[in-house]
Structure 1
Amino acid sequence: MSSQDPALSRRAFSGAVTATAVTAAAVASSGTAGAAAPESGERPFRAAPGKPRSRRPNILFILGDDLGWADLSSYGSPHIRTPHLDRLARQGVRFTDAYSGSATCSPTRFSLYTGRYPGRTKGGLAEPIADRSVGLEPTHPTLASLLKGAGYSTALIGKWHCGYLPDYSPTRSGWDEFFGNFGGALEYYSKLGLAGEYDLYEGDAEYKDLRYYTRILTERASEYVGRDHHDKPWLLNLNFTTPHWPWTADGDEAQSAEIVRRIKAREPGALQHRDGGSLAKYKEMVEDLDRSVGEVLRALKRSGQERNTLVFFASDNGGERFSYNWPLSGNKGSLQEGGIRVPAVLRWPARIDGGQVSHEPVFSPDWTATLLELAGARPHPAYPLDGTSLAGYLLRGEEVGERDLFWRVRGERALRRGDWKYYRGRSGRDQLFRLDEDEREQADKAALHPGVLAGLRSAWERTDAQLLPYPSN
C-alpha cells in the first residue's frame, strides 16, 4: 500500500458504526417505546491468556435465518427488543465486523460446514439449493464429521438446506442426530415446504408435529443441551428458521391456514408470502427468536454445563425485506454490506471474559477452523480450509493479520482487505470503498486509488480461478 493509501484503523471504523447505531437508536427512541441502544460499557476485545485451561468445550452454534445486521437491540435496532441475546453479548464478545460466507442460505451453510468457499463444491454453486439434484456430498469432511472423529457427539436441530433425501442428509455428513427440515423454508405450523411437501424429519423419517415450528425446535434443543452427556463433549448446530418468511408468528393459526390453502391450491409464491408481513410482525418474530434462545440458554445453565460450553450466535446472511440494516446498504442476496454483514456473539465463560467488543473482520469459514482447533480436531489434508482459526486471537491475544475475505455470487463479486472493500455489482462496474469512513458504501474511491483497486481485483480473480464455474443455465 502506498504512502497515499495509509493503513486504516478497524477501531475507528467500528467506532463510527457503533456511533451511527447509537444515534439512530436514540433518535428512534424519542418516538418508539422501549427502543434500546447498543450495549454500553463494552471494552475493546482483549484475550485473557491467564485463565486456566479447561476441557475441550461443548459447542452450541445457533443460527438465525435472514436476520439483519442491526435487528438486535445490542446492534442498534430502535424498535426490536432482544434482552436474551443482549445478555449473551454482555457475557461474551460482540463482533461488529462479522460476515456470512455468502449472501443466501445454503451457500453460507456449505461454507460453515466445510470451512471452505461455497464455490469449491457443486452444491455450493446453488444460490440457494432449490431441487434434489445437488447437495453436500457425504464424502466431503464437515465440521461435524471431523469433531465426531475427535470424540464429540454431534447433532443438528432445525434447518439443514444442504440437499434432500435420499442422497443428502445431516446423518450422512457427520451428525449423529438430526431433527428438522431439509428445505430452505417451510410454513411454521403445517411444515409444508416450497413444493407443498411435508418437511419435518427425525433422522431420515418424517415426524408429525403441527405446533409452531420455533417452539418445537426450542424444546428439542433444550432437551439436548440438558442431557447427561457423560462428560463427552458435544456439538449442537441449532438452526432456527426465524425470522425467514412466511410472516407468521406463534398464535397466527388463521394466517397459517390461509397460506396452507394457497400452497395446496398450487398458487405460485404462496409460501414466499410477498403480499404479507409488516414491521410489527417481523418484530414479533425476532423477539420470539430471542425468547427461544433464552430458553435454550436457561436449559444449558440448569444442566451445569454453561461454563465450559462455547455458545455462538449469528445470522446465516443479511436481512430481508423487513430487516433493520442501517447504516448498511443492500440486503440478502447482495454482496453489499447489508447482504453479508451479520450480528455475531460468542460466549465461553471458562476461557473468554465478557463485556467485550471485537472489530476484527471475520466470516463463516473462520469459525469452522476455530472450532476444529479448540476441539483438538484436524482438517482433512485433501480438503484445505479457506477460513483462518481465531483460537490464537481469542485465547492468547495473537494478531490475526491482514488477509482477504472473499465472496462470489452470480453477477456480483466482493473482497475485503483491512478496511478496503472491492465490489462489483450487477452493473458490472468495479467499485472501491473505505469502510472505516463509509460503511454505507456510497463514496466510490476507484478513481482516486486505481492501484488499490487493481490489487484487490487481481486477488479476487486469483481466488475465483480456483473455484468451480457456475453452470451456464
Structure 2
Amino acid sequence: MILNSFKYLLVAIFIGITSIKAQSQQPNIIIFFTDDQGFGDLGCYGAKGFETPNADNLASEGIRFTNFYVPATVCTPSRAGILTGRYPKRSGLHEAVLFPFSENGLPLQEYTMAELLKDAGYETWCVGKWHLGHKEEFMPNNQGFDDFFGVPYSNDMDNYYYARSDFQAPPLPLYRNKVLVEHGPNQEFLTTRYTEESIHKIKNRDPNKPFLLYLAHNMPHVPLHVSPKFKGKSTLGLYGDVIMELDWSIGEIVNTLKAEGIYDNTIFILTSDNGPDLGSAGPLRGKKAQTWEGGQRVPGIVVWPKKIPKNEECKEPLSTLDLFPTLARFAGAHIPDNLILDGKDVGALWLNPKTEKLKARPFFYYARNGGLEAVRYGKWKLHIKKSMGWDQIKLGDFELALYNLENDISELNNVAEKHPGLVKKLKSLINEHAI
C-alpha cells in the first residue's frame, strides 16, 4: 500500500517536472506593433533623417522581410487580423475603424492569439492601444489577455467632437485591466510608460511560464507626441523624434530580456499596423488607407536567437495573418479543428530562410471601406478598383491594372493589356474569394 502510494507520488512528480520542462522550452513571444509606421521608416529599410540603431541591430539578429503585409489599410481591421489569423471581414471589422461611439468590437466567439497561447500555458499581456472595442465585453481581459494597460482606441480620438454623429468623445481613457485609471494622459509620455510597463511585466513574470507580450504603441499615429528626452533629436523634426523614441523602446526591452537571461528563447516580432500617414513608404506607391503597396506592405522583422539564423533578408511574401498558426506551432498550441484561418504556418521559412520557399498563394487587399480591391499572387498584383489614392477628376475612371512587383515595386507600369490570361486568372481568384 505504502509502496503503491510512493509510486503514484513519483509518477506525479515526473509528470509535473516534464510539464515544467516542456513549458521552459516554449519561446516567449513579443509582438512590437507600431501605429502608422511606414515601410521606409526604419534605418534598415532605408530611412533618412533619423537613426534606428536598435531596430537595425534587431534585424541583424534575425530576418528582415521585404514583402511583409498587413490585411488592412487602417487600425482596427489590421489589429483584428493579427490577433485572429483571419481576414477582418470574417469578424465583421473590415470597414473603417471603431470610434468612441461604436457599440461593437471583436466578437467574443473569435479565438484570439492570446486565448490560443493562454490555453498552451502562457501568461498573456496587452500593453498600449487596443482599438477592438471599448465596451467592457470587448476589452482585452475578455479576449484572452491576463493583463491590460493602455488605451481602448486611437490617440487622435482624445476629446474629439464627431459632428456627423453629434458625439463628444471623452478625454482619452487609460485603463489597467478593467479599471479606468486616468483621463486624458499626457501623450508625451505614453511611449515611455508603455515601455516601463512592459519591462515591469517581464521582470515580474511567472518563471515557470512563457509569456506573450503584445505591445501596441500609439505612435507614430497623429497627433505626434514625444518625451522631452527625444524632442529635437532627429533632423526630420517631430516625426523623426517619435521614431527614435520607439527605437529606444525596442532597445530597452531587448536589454531587459538579456538581463533576465531569456533573450535567446524569445521570439521578437517588429511590425506596423498599416502604411504611413506622415512617414515614408520608401519606394512604394501610396500610403495609409490605400490599397497601393504603401498602404499595406510594412516593415517586418522576426528574431529568435535560439532558432532563427542571423542577418537574413527574405523576399518571400507573407503577412501578419501567418503569425497565428506559426506561433501556435512553436508554442505547441492546439488550433481547434473547426477554426478557419487565412494565415499559413511559415515556421519552416523562419528556420531556413535561405532554402525554404513558400508555395504561391493569393493575398487579398481590402480597402478602408471594406471592399476588395486587389490581389497579389506570386510577383503579380491586380487592382480591380480604387476607392482611395486615385484622383478621378485628373485621371478619369480607374482602369484595371496589373503590376509585376518583382521589377516594378512602385506600381508605375500597368501591363494588363500584355497579359490578358494572367488578368483573367487573378480576377477569378478574387471572384472565388468569398467570405
Deviation at 1:199, TM superposition (A): 1.4
Structure 1: how far apart are the matches of 2:205 and 2:260?
A: 8
Among all aligned residue pairs of Structure 1 and Structure 2, give the percentage whose two residues are the same amino acid.
Answer: 33
Residue in 2 aligned with 1:297? 254
What are the within-5 Å matches in structure 2 for residues 114-125 of structure 1? Answer: 114-122=84-92, 124-125=93-94
Residue in 1 aligned with 2:376? 416
Q: 2:94 touches 2:366 (CA, 8 Å); kept in 1? A: no
Residue 263 of structure 2 is aligned with which of 306, 319, 343? Answer: 306
- 2:190 maps to 1:213: yes
SS of the aligned residue for 2:285 comes to coil
Structure with the greater alpha carbon radius of gyration: 2
Q: Provide Cα deviations, 1:72-124, integer angstroms capped at 9, x if missing partner.
A: 111001222100000100111100110112111110111111100001112x1
Letter in 1 for 2:48: P
Structure 1: how far apart are the matches of 2:239 and 2:413?
A: 31
Q: Report the more deviating stretch, 403-412 or 196-205.
A: 403-412
Q: 1:129 touches 1:184 (CA, 8 Å); kept in 2? A: no
- 2:152 maps to 1:182: yes
Structure 2: how far apart are the matches of 1:80 and 1:106?
A: 28
Residue in 1 aligned with 2:28? 58
Residue in 2 aligned with 1:404? 362
Letter in 2 for 1:241: N
SS of the aligned residue for 1:366 comes to helix
Structure 2: how far apart are the matches of 1:193 and 1:297?
A: 36
Distance 1:141 1:310, change over 3 A: same
Structure 1 runs of 4+ off > 6 angstroms? none
Q: 1:157 touches 1:220 (CA, 8 Å); kept in 2? A: yes
Q: 1:186 touches 1:199 (CA, 8 Å); kept in 2? A: no
Residue in 1 aligned with 2:323? 367
Number of equivalences: 384
Letter in 2 for 1:408: Y
SS of the aligned residue for 1:200 comes to strand
Q: 2:103 touches 2:135 (CA, 8 Å); kept in 1? A: no
Letter in 2 for 1:294: G
Structure 2: how far apart are the matches of 1:81 and 1:213?
A: 21
SS of the aligned residue for 2:381 comes to strand
Q: Report the more deviating stretch, 392-401 or 441-450.
A: 392-401
SS of the aligned residue for 1:221 comes to helix
Distance 1:228 1:183, change over 3 A: closer
Structure 2: how far apart are the matches of 1:235 and 1:129?
A: 25
Letter in 1 for 2:270: F
Residue 282 of structure 2 is aligned with which of 308, 326, 332? Answer: 326
Distance 1:186 1:303, change over 3 A: farther
Structure 1: how far apart are the matches of 2:137 and 2:400?
A: 40
Structure 2: how far apart are the matches of 1:66 and 1:401?
A: 30
Structure 2: how far apart are the matches of 1:62 and 1:193?
A: 27
What are the within-5 Å matches in structure 2 for residues 85-124 of structure 1? Answer: 85-122=55-92, 124=93
What are the within-5 Å matches in structure 2 for residues 252-401 of structure 1? Answer: 279-320=236-277, 322-395=278-351, 398-401=356-359
- 2:171 maps to 1:197: yes
- What value does the CA root-mean-square deviation take over the aligned residues? 2.1
Letter in 1 for 2:110: H
SS of the aligned residue for 1:433 comes to strand
What are the within-5 Å matches in structure 2 for residues 114-153 of structure 1? Answer: 114-122=84-92, 124-130=93-99, 131-153=101-123
Letter in 2 for 1:372: A
Residue in 1 aligned with 2:405? 435
Q: Report the more deviating stretch, 71-80 or 377-386.
A: 377-386
Deviation at 1:171, TM superposition (A): 0.6
Structure 2: how far apart are the matches of 1:80 and 1:159?
A: 24
SS of the aligned residue for 2:199 comes to helix
Q: Report the more deviating stretch, 209-218 or 62-71.
A: 209-218
Deviation at 1:193, TM superposition (A): 6.5
Q: 2:33 touches 2:271 (CA, 8 Å); kept in 1? A: yes
Structure 1: how far apart are the matches of 2:63 and 2:416?
A: 34
Q: 1:247 touches 1:282 (CA, 8 Å); kept in 2? A: yes
Q: Which runs of 5+ in 2 are unaligned?
A: 1-23, 162-168, 388-396
Q: 1:379 touches 1:385 (CA, 8 Å); kept in 2? A: no
Deviation at 1:300, TM superposition (A): 1.4
Deviation at 1:437, TM superposition (A): 1.2
Q: 1:226 touches 1:302 (CA, 8 Å); kept in 2? A: no
Residue in 2 aligned with 1:26? none
Structure 1: how far apart are the matches of 2:282 and 2:351?
A: 32
- 2:205 maps to 1:245: no
Residue in 1 aligned with 2:201? 224
Structure 2: how far apart are the matches of 1:401 and 1:86?
A: 29
Deviation at 1:207, TM superposition (A): 1.6
Q: Provide Cα deviations, 1:329-357, integer angstroms capped at 9, x if missing partner.
A: 10000110000010111110110121111
Distance 1:319 1:198, change over 3 A: closer
Structure 1: how far apart are the matches of 2:322 and 2:172?
A: 34
Deviation at 1:407, TM superposition (A): 1.9
Q: Which runs of 5+ in 1 are unaligned?
A: 1-53, 255-277, 468-473
Structure 2: how far apart are the matches of 1:101 and 1:125?
A: 9
Q: Provide Cα deviations, 1:361-414, integer angstroms capped at 9, x if missing partner.
A: 011101111111111112223321100111122225543211111122225511
Structure 2: how far apart are the matches of 1:354 and 1:192?
A: 45
SS of the aligned residue for 1:129 comes to coil
Q: 1:318 touches 1:331 (CA, 8 Å); kept in 2? A: yes
SS of the aligned residue for 1:125 comes to coil
Q: 2:49 touches 2:236 (CA, 8 Å); kept in 1? A: no
SS of the aligned residue for 2:255 comes to helix
Taking structure 2 as the reference length, the TM-score comes to: 0.84
Letter in 2 for 1:328: L
Letter in 1 for 2:176: E
Q: 2:65 touches 2:314 (CA, 8 Å); kept in 1? A: yes
Q: Report the more deviating stretch, 79-88 or 207-216.
A: 207-216
Distance 1:228 1:147, change over 3 A: closer
Structure 1: how far apart are the matches of 2:222 and 2:431?
A: 35
- 2:425 maps to 1:425: no
Q: 1:185 touches 1:193 (CA, 8 Å); kept in 2? A: no
Residue 233 of structure 1 is aligned with which of 190, 205, 210? Answer: 210
